[in-house]
A and B are shown apart, each in its own frame.
Chain A
Amino acid sequence: MNGKSEVSEFFSKLYSENIVRIEEGSTPFLNSFRKEAFEKFNLLGVPTKKMESYKYTNLETWFRHDYQSYFIPDESHFQKAEDFRCDVTDLDAHGIVLMNGFYPTLNGKLRELPGGIIIGSLNEAARKYPHILEKHYGKYAKNDSDGLIHLNTAMVSDGVFIYVPGGAAPGKPVQVVNLVDSDQDTFNQHRNLIIVGENARCSVIICDHTLSPRRFLTNAVSEIYAGENSSFDLIRVQNEHNNACKITHTFIHQERNSHATSSIITLHGGLVRNNTYHRMDGEGAECNSYGLFLADKWQHVDNFVNVDHASPNCHSNQLFKGVLDDVSTGAFNGRIYVAPDAQGTIAYQKNNNILLTDEARMDTKPQLEIYADDVKCSHGATVGQLDNNALFYMQSRGIDKRQALLMLMFGFAHEVIQNIKVEALQERLDGLVMQRLKGELSQCASCLVKCG
């Protein structure tokens, strides 16, 4: 029996054994998507290295593991979620905590803010506002090759819902803290839906943390709609332990003249795979996609980015950087797609990586696919070491070599961090990166787990 069918069979069994339980805890709206999605997953399976887009990342060992799966919220962990306090104290934000993918309060699952803004549990929103979800849920997370998106749709129970109606703005960022905590190896899936209406603006910070030293696998899907002339900002800070595998699929759909930015900062994680799909569906849209990862030990970080210029006169910019230490491995898959007739496109993509040891390895695959002619597109990728000329320049000013190397690495990373517009967070991330580079952050921040 080959690996794929073994894994598929495992999930078939899991699905059929638990579907009743999942559906009971869920809403008719979310349930209406499950069957078809599971059929699609069955067809596609878990991605393997044979797939071009997963060429450099092996998920198999993570999916072959026997996890305790959470299909209904385990309330015994809710207190921990209540007690969790973000240690970025200057960060003024609307806070939401997800525990193992669930909204961990029994009451007040949806909060209403001035201007008609709603934030809270996706499951609850599906119950209360199916007419809003109907227009967006499942409309952007479209992909015919990655089975994991469909697996999420088939089995997901909860996640975060953010609704910012036309012209509104929450005033401060919404911070979502994803906690994973269990005394058993756990597989969890959650789903976020963020709707930013016409002329609205919204900034979302997602922080991933693990609180216990078990083996965790997370498969998360986020769908984001940015309406005409809106502005959306997503900052994701990944800080999980080395026994955790995190797979994210983020779909950002943009209308005319909208602006969207995604920044992913990966500080820790056993295996991290981020799939970010930008689609600019209206003229004059602009998007930025940033990423930074620092990997050591046997960590593996893979960023997959697809920027789809579906309309004319859109601008996009990608900047992804990686620093690889010890025996860590990294990958970058970036694609710019310019549709026929998407004239006036300007698209840039840059991927720079630094290998600190001979055992570290980086594979990068920047791609351009262009079907229109009035375009300015470029990409560049480098794998190498720190700039020797810069090192000498710094030494010639009296800075010792170790310090100079550290500053150069920090500078390398800061080029990504500096794009984060939430000041308190930018400072905090700069600090974390510096600590991480000095080797002082050998485990995830605010984590008491000694997982090595």
Chain B
Amino acid sequence: MEKDQDDIINDITSGEYKYGFFTDIETDKIPKGLNEDIVRLISEKKGEPEWLLEFRLKSYRHWLTKKMPDWANLKIPPIDFQEIIYYAAPKQRPSLESLDNIDPELKRTFDKLGIPLEEQKHLSGVAVDAVMDSVSVKTTFRETLAEMGIIFCSFSEAVREYPDLVRRYLGTVVPYTDNYFASLNSAVFSDGSFCYIPKGVRCPMELSTYFRINAANTGQFERTLLVADEESYVSYLEGCTAPMRDENQLHAAIVEIIAEKNAEVKYSTVQNWYPGDKNGRGGIFNFVTKRGICRGDNSKISWTQVETGSAITWKYPSCILRGDNSTGEFYSVAVTNNHQQADTGTKMIHIGKNTKSTIVSKGISAGQGQNSYRGLVKVLKNASNARNFSQCDSLLLGDKCGAHTFPYLEIDNQSAIVEHEATTSKIGEDQIFYCNQRGISTEDAIGLIVNGYAREVINKLPMEFAVEAQKLLQISLEGSVG
């Protein structure tokens, strides 16, 4: 019995990565390596204004002064930043006016990923910005959104068409000096999405960015900037995949969110970068800085993430609660299987009065995976009546994995109520047995239990993606249980 279960866990956790194919498409690449000339070359390729080049150079010079962070509970092999190609763009015909002009190979790629670029075929109510390697390939539903004054386009277009808006907000939430990877991104970022929701507008559809790393030896450094003006609402989703390769690839992105008075932003991520093979070879290094600021009173930012991919994840989507009565939320499911490592969590910085934050983190470790929650709840002196509740649970499947919890609570105001709870336990044998007794196989039982365990978080995802996320959870644990 024991043995059988081990085998089943093994089967469940050794499932194959579905999106590991490579698209053979002609790519415009620049030489590998990083120096000021490369930074200038990227800027030139994108035809950027002088101020943006200056921003990149400042960032690059700052990056040179920094060292790679080593405080996370991660074993990161040395990264040779001179071996990476910092810009790769699929070559296509110059005009993007009509869909007919998109390279059919590109279209097929996104079709295969389940992201059709034709609007009529697409999931109703979701607008997509598709990014492959360093550039945005196509943004759907732009015109529909434009009628409401919503700007949703690639970052490069935003720089060209709305330079004032970009300049006003770029780097205000994640300054270029923020951390090692943020400095790197600020120097070499290639593309990404830009979104602006004007005053009083509730965005009628889900906005979504789909990231695909395709070319070999390239890094992906995209940047997302999302501004929700007063009284507006938007729900945003990002998804990501990459081909299976034996070498590691670097993804160092930045997401900045600004929520003005009474605005609400919901940001959901289903992260499915290639996690490497069973022996820990290959996979994406995912070093991402995501942060939102609740600038106005009564504003709200909610992060939801389902992390199943990447060889190494280093990521802390955070909220700065500056406006009075503002709310920050973080809901996360992180799975580490085989040799995957994740050090993820959040920071909730309470600055305004009556600010509230909620943290729900569910870690699932299988195989030899190492899963760490790292979070900071900071209540500043003037943040009266701040409330935080954190619940961080870890589920262990198999005896070679690890689950770790590193919360930091820094409280400088008497009226704060801050509560942190965490539990770590093995998947319940009695639960599995109960399911078995009702005729459910151990494999299905584990699927059920894991999904039940993660449900609180998955329920926060937009409906279409919740189903996707559930499947993904099951697949990423395939071959793992005991």
Binding site for B on A (CB under 8 A): 52, 340-341, 343, 353, 355-358, 360-385
Residues of A contacting B425 in the complex (Cβ-Cβ under 8 angstroms): 375-377
CB-based contact A368/B411 at 8 Å? no
B96 at interface, CB cutoff 8 A: no
B402 & A369 in contact (Cβ 8 Å cutoff): yes
A369 to B372, CA, bound (A): 8
**Least distance between B450 CB and chain A CB atoms (Å):** 14
Within 8 Å by CB of B410, from A363, A374, A384, lies A363
- Cα(A341)–Cα(B397), bound, Å: 14
Contacts of B417 in A (CB 8 A): 382-385
A358→B405 contact, CB < 8 A: no
Partner among A52, A343, A356, A372 whose Cβ is within 8 Å of the Cβ of B414: A356
User: Within the assembled complex, what's the spacing in Å between the Cα atoms of A373 and B398?
Assistant: 6
Query: Is B399 located at the chain interface by the 8 A CB criterion?
Result: yes
Question: With A360-B414, A361-B412, A375-B424 as given contacts, are A382 and B405 in contact (CB-CB < 8 Å)?
Answer: no
Which residues from B are CB-within-8-Å of A368? 394, 403-405, 422, 424
Contacts of A363 in B (CB 8 A): 408-411
11 other A-B residue contacts (CB within 8 Å) besides A355-B413, A376-B424, A382-B419: A356-B414, A362-B409, A363-B411, A365-B406, A367-B405, A367-B406, A370-B396, A374-B426, A377-B424, A382-B417, A384-B417
B411 and A361 contacting across the interface, CB-CB below 8 Å: yes
Chain B minimum-CB-distance residue to A352: B419
Contact A385 B412, beta carbon cutoff 8 Å: no
| Residue in B closest to A369 when the chains form the complex, CB atoms | B404
Q: B145 on the interface (CB 8 Å rule)?
A: no
Smallest Cβ-Cβ distance to B420: which chain A residue:
A381
Q: How far is the CA of A435 from the CA of B105 in the complex (A)?
A: 80
Question: With a CB–CB cut-off of 8 A, which chain B residues contact A367?
Answer: 404-407
With CB as the reference atom, state the residue of chain A lying closest to B429: A374
Contact yes or no, A372 B405, CB < 8 A: no
Q: Are B399 and A378 in contact (CB under 8 A)?
A: no
Q: Which residue of A lies closest to B378 (CB)?
A: A363
Q: Which of A355, A368, A369, A380 has the most CB of B within 10 A?
A: A368
A-B contacts, CB under 8 A, total: 111
CB distance from B345 to the nearest CB of A (A): 12
Complex Cα spacing A356 to B411, Å: 12
With a CB–CB cut-off of 8 A, which chain B residues contact A379? Answer: 405, 420-422
Chain A residues, CB < 8 A from B399: 340-341, 343, 372-374
Shortest Cβ-Cβ A-B pairs, 9 listed:
A373-B396, A384-B417, A383-B411, A368-B405, A377-B424, A378-B423, A355-B414, A371-B402, A381-B420
Q: Nearest Cβ distance between residue A244 and chain B, in whole angstroms?
A: 25
Chain B, residue nearest A329 (CB): B412
Give bound CA distance, A378 to B381, whole Å: 29
- Which chain B residues (56-78) contact chain A, with CB distance < 8 Å? 71, 73
Expressed in whole angstroms, the Cα–Cα distance for A357 and B420 within the complex equals 21
CB neighbours (8 Å) of B407 from chain A are 365-367, 381
- The verdict on B170 contacting chain A, using a C-beta distance below 8 Å, is no
- Could you say which residues of chain A place their CB within 8 Å of the CB of B396? 370, 372-373, 375
In the bound complex, how far is the Cα of B384 from the Cα of A355, in angstroms? Answer: 13
Asked if A373 contacts B404 (CB within 8 A), the reply is: no
Given contacts A363-B408, A373-B397, is CB(A378)–CB(B424) below 8 Å?
Answer: yes
How close is B383's CB to chain A, nearest CB, in angstroms? 11
Minimum distance in angstroms from B13 CB to a CB of chain A: 13
CA distance A382 to B426 in the complex (A): 25
Smallest CB–CB gap between B50 and chain A, Å?
A: 39
Q: Is B34 an interface residue (CB 8 A)?
A: no
B contact residues around A370 at 8 Å (CB): 394, 396, 402-404, 424
Q: Which residues of A contact B405 (CB under 8 A)?
A: 366-368, 379
The winner among B394, B398, B425 for most chain A CB atoms within 10 A is B425
> What is the CB-to-nearest-CB distance from B413 to chain A, in angstroms, rounded to a whole number?
6
Cβ of B418 < 8 Å from any Cβ of A? yes
Q: Choose among A355, A369, A373 the residue that contacts B411 (Cβ–Cβ < 8 A).
A: A355
Cβ of A364: which chain B residues have Cβ within 8 Å of it?
408-409, 411
Which residue of B is nearest A56, CB measured?
A: B410
Is B415's beta carbon under 8 Å from chain A? yes
